[in-house]
Copies of this chain bind each other. A is one copy, B any other.
């Protein structure tokens, strides 16, 4: 096969895949347990070479057994959907395959990344800000915490944390687990990450934040980092940024905003109010790979002070890679903890130029419309109960059965059965230790009828499984009677 034929065949596969997923012809998932899947697919890495026929056969199997994340019944993750300009951008990144460390090997990519960072800073109100693309939201959150740590104690870079004062971090009890991971990595320790209580919407309670800081000070700790969340993982809640900024300022604590999920909502003029106060923060995590629908990974950490990352992360002696010359400020590797780094900026840039600010605002607004629609659907079914009033794009609810004690189990069974039948994939979490089914709207291309279909399936499955339970329970009851007699 010539290169042209191979590429032609590849694109045929891609087109067929996209068409059939978009039309719903393929079910969202073709579920198998690991041992079943192992039996179906030859995974072996062989001694002898294969050929292009084998390659395409492998790819066809991979496509068949993938979860179709652009399918309209994929409501499981904080990302989904398809964005063709961004997907093409990703292909071009792979094709040109360069690394973001020096201007020399990534000239235009460097300018593109800087343009994006500048624009995103302006949107966040960081008038003299800077930033970097990272390997994901967890990594961005870790860099933010590290930057705060090293600003407070600049000697750590050389001397380490041993002998330093005990540092303390404050996040809400709804925040992402990456803050615990970051505290572990950075040598701060997850025991010094205080989880502030949240209200019924999932928003951090300010009075509890103040109490926790005061308690920490009494214990002679050094509070140095508060992370507000802009779009929590379970409820999509937005912490009150302005009020948190006030506290952070009073106590001179670095304020971070984790917008890993909700960051892109700032692009909507209609919903930007959720970010009131963001301009007072010191750093901001924003993942375009979520609500801007570009393929994974596109994640950005913005910082208020332009040179903060350079100073705190990597201002070490690396002359053998970063040569002194007139393009120094364009060697982006100097403000990253990665050395080799993929060009994640290109897909974001191409998609943003394609949709424009206005197009992205519309996409975000449309997602809210769909989320509101879903929220109302929950009310329409007697069997469903909303667990929290949604602040953004996630709707948490439960199927209420007559078997209260078994209710969590029933909800998990409904979800799992829908998945195993390939009807829909929706996620769940625990809210006050109760199972909450979490439906996320992260794909502006889904339609009201897709949500109708989802809820119909969910409620119907609930009823089927409830009946089965009822029968089982009657049998158990009957058996019990027998024993008693």
Contact = CB atoms under 8 A, between A and B. Distances in A.
A79 B187 CA distance: 33
A407 interface: no
B159 A162 contact: no
Given A98-B66, A135-B338, A189-B158, A112 B316 contact: no
Interface residues of A, number: 149
A330 B36 CA distance: 13
A52 B90 CA distance: 16
Identical subunits present: 2
B136 A341 contact: yes
Given A7-B15, A92-B63, A187-B187, A99 B296 contact: yes
A55 B95 contact: no
B177 A167 contact: no
A108 B37 CA distance: 7
Interface string A337-366: 111111000100110111111110000000
Given A3-B18, A59-B350, A159-B191, A330 B289 contact: no
A223 to B, nearest CB: 14
Contacts of A103: 34
Contact of A108 (B41, B87, B287): B41
A430 interface: yes
Interface stretch (A69-77, A271-279, A451-459): A69-77
Contacts of A295: 94, 97
A403 interface: no
A320 B159 contact: no
A358 B66 CA distance: 29
Interface in A21-64: 31-34, 37-38, 41, 43-52, 54-55, 58-59, 61-63
Given A51-B354, A137-B340, A156-B184, 14 more contacts: A7-B15, A14-B92, A55-B350, A66-B109, A69-B98, A135-B135, A136-B339, A162-B166, A177-B320, A184-B316, A186-B187, A234-B320, A297-B341, A321-B429
